Structure 1
Amino acid sequence: MALFKKKKDSDTNDIIAELDPAVVKDGTIDTDEVMRKYDKESNTRIWEGVPKIVVTAFLVLFSVYCICMTLLSTEQAEARLARFLAFIIVIGFMIYPARKTNHRVNHIPWYDIVLMLAGFGAFMYFAMNCTEILLMGARIEPIHVALGIIGILVLAELCRRCVGLPIIIVVACLVIYAFYWQMTSSSNADFYNSLRKVVQKLFYTTSGVIGTPINVCYTYIVLFVIFGAFLERTGIANFFISLANRIAGWSSGGAAKVSVIASALCGMVSGSSVGNTVTTGSVTIPMMKKTGYKPEFAGAVEAASSSGGQIMPPIMGAAAFLMAEYIGIPYIEVATKAIIPALLYFAGIFIAVHLEAKKLGLKGTPKSELPTIPYLLKNCYLILPLVLLVWLVASGTRTMAASAAISIAGAFIIGFINFLLNSWRERAEGESFGAVFMETVKIAALMVVDAFSAGAKNTIAVAVACAMAGMIAGCITVTGLASTIINVIVLMAGDFIIIGLIFTMICCLILGMGVPTTANYCIMASTCAPILIQLGIDPICAHFFVFYFGIAADITPPVALAAYAASAIAKSRPMATAVNATKLGIAKFVVPYIFAFSPILLLVGDNVTLPAVLLNTGTALVGVFGLQCALTNTLFHHHLNPVFRIILAIGGLGMMIPGTVSDIAGLVIIIGMCTVQYILSKKHHSTSALSDETSNTDALPKLNDLELDETVTDNS
């Protein structure tokens, strides 16, 4: 086999042709197939024709119902939440099949209809007889016990379909434990009475499926999910990508930097690590590979950046609203406190891709080919709904629900204006404004239907996962298991808080595997955050700590769904992509420890002043730089000596550990290593230049026109 072969020009189609045939259709990336493979929420039934119209109409009506009920209803909370879950079960079984491979068109099996009606009947019965059942307390009758069991089992099956097994396994173990605890906690407890009490707690009280998580989902999250669906359809994603291209596309390895910025901006709106990875990755990953990045690195950049969208203010994938409810502070405070940690995280990825680009000698896109500033200014009105939302929430003049509803209306207006302008620019010769306007009305109407439909679909998995999270919290609270876990970890940690933090981190990474962000945080807030609070960590820092590590599960092997989805597009090794994503997202593993010991990064504490915040942010940023140099194995365009890598990592961690002594020591180490590496790189350049002058290059093939054979490169 020849060692060299002629280089040929490649374009996007060449890159796409390299992809797994399973994710390629008609020469383009089939993002739907990737989503179905790696994202439970996208494994949906296929409806066409009249059935599709009926299903879509039901989804639209459900979204409108949620908005109206949230804004206008004064009904008892238990009744509203039970009815909400009844409708969720109906649309859930209409959308999600029992198996991943069951994609027959316009088909729903009889057993799904039976499950749908049984679950709907159980929750609707509770909603219609809410007051009577609540007055019974623990004396509910056998019919109520049977309906409660049916409702819980049907909800669990729907959760298996749209969320996955991990959360079901956790819930099942805790329910069994709750039943065992109920049997053994009383001397005269029998099987039926124990079962009745468990069902009553988990189904008919706010300590179970209709607990805090589903209440927050119904009150806030549904509206913001619908808002996100409207925002995506206004064309804001394309604007974000264009903006990212203008900001960073011209620099070394600009394609990867564009991916970082675009994924951060789009991710905060979408709220799904896998969804954001596939949506933006279908554009950015082929672009990165074409630039010269290895497939594993390109996929890792997209996965790490997309999983960070949920920590990016102001929306933060809707989990910020849950956090505000759990901590008891206004939402705008949560978004404000999240700014510095999010910037540190994305700065770490940005530094890593820059170092990799310099090492590989990659160039950026010529400025003449980038979106122009006038173009961006002309389209900057697309972000107005987002600005409106932030202003309404920050001003406090409206409730959260009202702010979301007004922002939805604003997104529709902006979308209509965008469609009208585009239609006018692309109009046929001689076409009147009236004809263009009427065509825009049709497009806008379809956009509204599509957005309401997508919002309802996206709500299903979040609502079901929140209901399961409520059961987890209920089992832990009722049985006293939370206190037991806390006492064990506190006892094991002793006076060393770091040990408790490490144990909590491991719990978060395990419990967060394959679970959507919102439900992920609900589980962490119920199980892990109290542990840290008991250890003496500030409650705000404790909740941010578990939030970060719960999300980190999306890029952490062995269950790194965002990384695996990116690897399908990049045609890379899944585990290698996940490992690279973990290295790129190292800040997500280090920054939580920083604000656990130094809350000033979250703007918490009595010593929060501008100089102190800037100093702590600066030292943390230098520390992230040192760590990324060590992990990417490059500085000043050259590989690092293994000893230098270890020393740089120590220096980076020293800069990130709160304290003047550690900061000074870390700074001295990093400056020293940078100086030594700079001198060595200069010496290397001088030696290389001298060698080039004295060598006879005429007899060798020109490497500018040749490249290594891929098989040989892979084997090496």
Structure 2
Amino acid sequence: MAESREDERIIAEGVDEEAIEENRRLFGGWRFIAIAVAAGLYAAFHMAALTGLSISSMTGVDLPFLPTFPMETWNFRIVHVAGALMLGFLIYAPNAFPEDAGGETRILGLLALALAVPALLALGTAIWFALQINGGAQWTGIDETIRFNETWFFGAPLWIATGGAIALSWRHRRVREGFAAPDFVLAICAVAVATYLITIYGTLMRNSTGTPFAPIGISMAAVAGSALILELTRRVAGLALVVISAIFLVYVFAGQYLPGFLNSPPIEWTRFFSQVYTDAGILGPTTAVSSTYIILFIIFAAFLQASKVGDYFVNFAFALAGKARGGPAKVAIFASGLMGMINGTSAGNVVATGSLTIPLMKKVGYKKKTAGAIEAAASTGGQIVPPIMGAGAFIMAEITGIPYTEIAIAAIIPAILYFVSVYFMVDFEAAKLGMEGMHEDEIPSARALAKKCFLFLPIVILIVALFMGYSVIRAGVYATLAAVVVSWLTRHRMGPRAVGKAFELAGIMSIQIIAVCACAGIIVGVISLTGVGARFSSLLLGLADASQLLALFFAMCISILLGMGMPTTAAYAVAASVVAPGLVQLGIPALTAHFFVFYFAVLSAITPPVALASYAAAGISGANAMETSTASFKIGIAAFIVPFMFFYNSAILMDGTWFEIARAGLTAVVGVFLLSAGVQGWFFGARAGWIVRGLAVLAALSLIEGGLMSDLLGVALAVAAVGASRMLSGPSGAGARAAG
């Protein structure tokens, strides 16, 4: 009986429930079945492709119309993007839903159905081209007949259908449980773009991109494809990334008129767009990662979610930290760190865990803005926790060529420093407010949860497999299979239906990140094809001649600015293309430069004025969004200093002897403690006046710098801070009150 009572004493339930966005359609009946099957097959297709399987090899039956794996790289990425576009347009609406069928704009729906004619013409023409090429037809961009056919039977109808359907979709309104006609047209256009590009890139034409020999259809397909990507990104991730992408696209053609380092040579639209939908842009590093590592770990996360591991993580965090002062806030740190590592988006993690932790933080005495800020800071930190790092580690490995395991190891101390700093900030805030922890009968039983520690097994297997030298894909597959096996030891056993549901969930979860990565690919394409990245590097070099610290500060500002309003993955991908090359040219090692950029791209989620994680938390807490973002910035303030430590002390990134690494880690932790004490005004169990706070901050900065002399200076300043605290406080505390 005692065991059952302990098992019943749980707090977190529903953490693994699927979050439903405001503009997401909720289907029923045959529509639900169709979308569920499509989403499940989309995710399963990636699993099969990544594991090198084929349906024919599994069944022993030769089915030539089905894909064989592994697929050719470009074709795989094109299908990857097209599938997300199709699902995304059918699932996510472009505007608000009407309350009932009376609010539908049926005339616009009929107009949109008319646009299906040019969309189907473009798709049919692309298939006709494929049959011709398969029959031996010679294809060249300078053949007038081919150019005419591509322009008027493929490109023009595709543009009319794409542009018209996007415009109509903004005004068309359809009830939440129904498909919208403009979205069907956009899905057809996505298939037409993919069919044409796979057909043409399957010939020698991929080598002609950017030259007069490139078929005009490539440029026209790329224009339509870019418009589709931008529209879907607007629906699933908001306007921030779309606006930034649009600015970069305008720069391609306006750069020739700009002064100084922004000036770029004139580029014809056909030349640019014939290259942007290649591995120099949309099909480049961002899509390479989203089509392999990211989709794989989304599937892994979906299987964990289906086996209710998220509930266990949060309950485990409550058992571990619930009784400490300000307990729910510390629970948020642990739980959000665990969930955010896998989640891949700060704002999404806030919604998943914050709906539970934020109300509890308010209940124990935290202000609304502080409760939201703590959750935002903790969820953002999850993006830098190895081994997954919210998929950022995989993009970094793809861009730099540095082995993934080296990146994951280098991230250990920075992640510790981030969460230690947030923990100290939260603890000192709780101390100042005189908070207590939760009562033992209010938190889950540690003994009961310990018996279920096998639920950590999938993550343990993932980490062990990675560091045993297995590929990331194989380690991810093993971890996913482990999640299924582990579920059989709980009441949430995963049978065929649950596995199918997990694949369906993964397919839907992947849409946002795939759209964002493809959209970031447009920006990467602009940077690489215009050379603006190289000119920005020259600007950084010029600043470095005056001061390297000034150059780093400028790089920090640009990384945060580029990341504002963007999901972590896209923020890092863009900043890595613009800022990191300049840092490398300053002589900074590639790993250090990219970690510097990655950190600030992540921190843009809690940096005012546009802080996605803070805004999501404010929506739950009921606080003012700007006040919440300012508070989260304060809580995460130490994290804004940590990247500069990479530059001054590479031992923080595990580069050095064990003694150097241990000394750097230890002094950095002490420095973070002193910085938190100085910012919060709480020093060794008492409120600190401005003299003590100033000494603590100076000591922190000295210890964080990492050199031997600076460490000795930091220790001396810390001793002085302790002495000043004792002397000013006195027996009555009058001195402290006067100093404060």
TM-score by structure 2 length?
0.80
- 1:410 is aligned, of 442, 460, 482, to 482
- 1:96 counterpart = 2:168: no
Structure 1 residues 93 and 643: alpha-carbon distance in aligned structure 2, compared to 1, 3 A threshold: same
Structure 1 residues 89 and 369: alpha-carbon distance in aligned structure 2, compared to 1, 3 A threshold: closer
Aligned equivalents of 2:85 and 2:443: distance in 1?
47
Structure 1 residues 515 and 619: alpha-carbon distance in aligned structure 2, compared to 1, 3 A threshold: same
Aligned equivalents of 1:510 and 1:103: distance in 2?
36
Structure 1 residues 77 and 522: alpha-carbon distance in aligned structure 2, compared to 1, 3 A threshold: same
Structure 1 residues 448 and 675: alpha-carbon distance in aligned structure 2, compared to 1, 3 A threshold: farther
- 1:632 is aligned, of 680, 691, 702, to 680
2:374 is matched with which residue? 301
Aligned equivalents of 1:610 and 1:504: distance in 2?
30
1:50 is matched with which residue? 30
1:183, distance to aligned residue in structure 2 (A): 11
- 2:701 is aligned, of 629, 653, 657, to 653
2:106 is matched with which residue? none
The DSSP-based 3-state class of the residue aligned with 1:106 is: coil
1:166, distance to aligned residue in structure 2 (A): 2.3
Aligned equivalents of 2:15 and 2:49: distance in 1?
40
Aligned equivalents of 1:142 and 1:216: distance in 2?
29
- 1:388 counterpart = 2:439: no
- 1:214 counterpart = 2:265: no
Deviations 1:131-181 (A, max 9, x none): 223254422233333222111211111122112222222222322333456
Aligned equivalents of 1:658 and 1:116: distance in 2?
55
Contact 1:655/1:666 (<8 A) preserved: yes
1:48, distance to aligned residue in structure 2 (A): 2.2
1:55, distance to aligned residue in structure 2 (A): 0.6
2:587 is matched with which residue? 536
Deviations 1:426-474 (A, max 9, x none): xxxxxxxxxxxxxx56xx4443233212211221121122222222222
- 1:476 counterpart = 2:550: no
Aligned equivalents of 1:264 and 1:181: distance in 2?
42
More deviation, 568-577/332-341: 568-577
1:489, distance to aligned residue in structure 2 (A): 2.1
- 1:487 counterpart = 2:538: yes
Aligned equivalents of 1:258 and 1:457: distance in 2?
29
- 1:508 is aligned, of 540, 546, 559, to 559
- 1:82 is aligned, of 73, 78, 93, to 78
Structure 1 residues 368 and 506: alpha-carbon distance in aligned structure 2, compared to 1, 3 A threshold: same
Aligned equivalents of 2:438 and 2:215: distance in 1?
70
1:417, distance to aligned residue in structure 2 (A): 2.4
More deviation, 360-369/300-309: 360-369
1:683, distance to aligned residue in structure 2 (A): 2.0
Aligned equivalents of 2:659 and 2:79: distance in 1?
52
Amino acid at match of 2:42: F
2:178 is matched with which residue? 107
1:130 is matched with which residue? 201
Contact 2:421/2:639 (<8 A) preserved: no
- 1:283 counterpart = 2:356: yes
Amino acid at match of 2:688: L
Structure 1 residues 558 and 183: alpha-carbon distance in aligned structure 2, compared to 1, 3 A threshold: closer
1:228, distance to aligned residue in structure 2 (A): 1.2
1:214, distance to aligned residue in structure 2 (A): 0.6
The DSSP-based 3-state class of the residue aligned with 2:451 is: helix
Aligned equivalents of 2:339 and 2:49: distance in 1?
29
1:415, distance to aligned residue in structure 2 (A): 1.9
Contact 1:626/1:652 (<8 A) preserved: yes
Amino acid at match of 1:321: F
Structure 1 residues 241 and 678: alpha-carbon distance in aligned structure 2, compared to 1, 3 A threshold: farther
Aligned equivalents of 2:735 and 2:577: distance in 1?
60
Structure 1 residues 399 and 651: alpha-carbon distance in aligned structure 2, compared to 1, 3 A threshold: closer
- 2:307 is aligned, of 203, 210, 234, to 234
Deviations 1:4-41 (A, max 9, x none): xxxxxxxxxxxxxxxxxxxxxxxx999989x74xxxxx
**TM-align CA RMSD:** 2.6
Amino acid at match of 2:245: V
The DSSP-based 3-state class of the residue aligned with 2:279 is: coil
Aligned length: 624
1:100, distance to aligned residue in structure 2 (A): 5.0
Aligned equivalents of 1:298 and 1:539: distance in 2?
37
Contact 2:15/2:352 (<8 A) preserved: no
Deviations 1:246-284 (A, max 9, x none): 322222222211111111111112122111112111111
Point out where structure 1 has 5 or more consecutive residues left out of the alignment: 1-27, 37-41, 185-189, 421-439, 689-716
- 1:336 counterpart = 2:316: no
Amino acid at match of 2:71: E
Contact 1:299/1:569 (<8 A) preserved: yes
Matches within 5 A, 1:82-481: 82-100=78-96, 104-132=175-203, 133-137=205-209, 138=211, 139-180=213-254, 194-203=268-277, 205-367=278-440, 369-396=442-469, 398-419=470-491, 440=493, 444-481=495-532
Structure 1 residues 29 and 449: alpha-carbon distance in aligned structure 2, compared to 1, 3 A threshold: closer
- 1:518 is aligned, of 569, 576, 580, to 569
Contact 1:213/1:466 (<8 A) preserved: yes
- 1:70 counterpart = 2:144: no
Deviations 1:373-423 (A, max 9, x none): 431221001011111111222112x43222222221111121232126xxx
Deviations 1:662-701 (A, max 9, x none): 222222222222333245445236999xxxxxxxxxxxxx
1:103, distance to aligned residue in structure 2 (A): 7.6
Amino acid at match of 1:593: F
The DSSP-based 3-state class of the residue aligned with 2:490 is: helix
1:600 is matched with which residue? 651
1:227, distance to aligned residue in structure 2 (A): 0.4
Aligned equivalents of 1:248 and 1:539: distance in 2?
38
1:235, distance to aligned residue in structure 2 (A): 2.3
The DSSP-based 3-state class of the residue aligned with 1:129 is: helix
Aligned equivalents of 2:641 and 2:96: distance in 1?
37
TM-score by structure 1 length?
0.82
- 1:549 counterpart = 2:609: no
Aligned equivalents of 2:621 and 2:77: distance in 1?
42
Amino acid at match of 1:587: A
Contact 2:462/2:476 (<8 A) preserved: yes
Deviations 1:70-118 (A, max 9, x none): 2222332122211221211101101211125568322233222222211
Amino acid at match of 2:308: G
Contact 1:179/1:198 (<8 A) preserved: no
More deviation, 143-152/481-490: 143-152
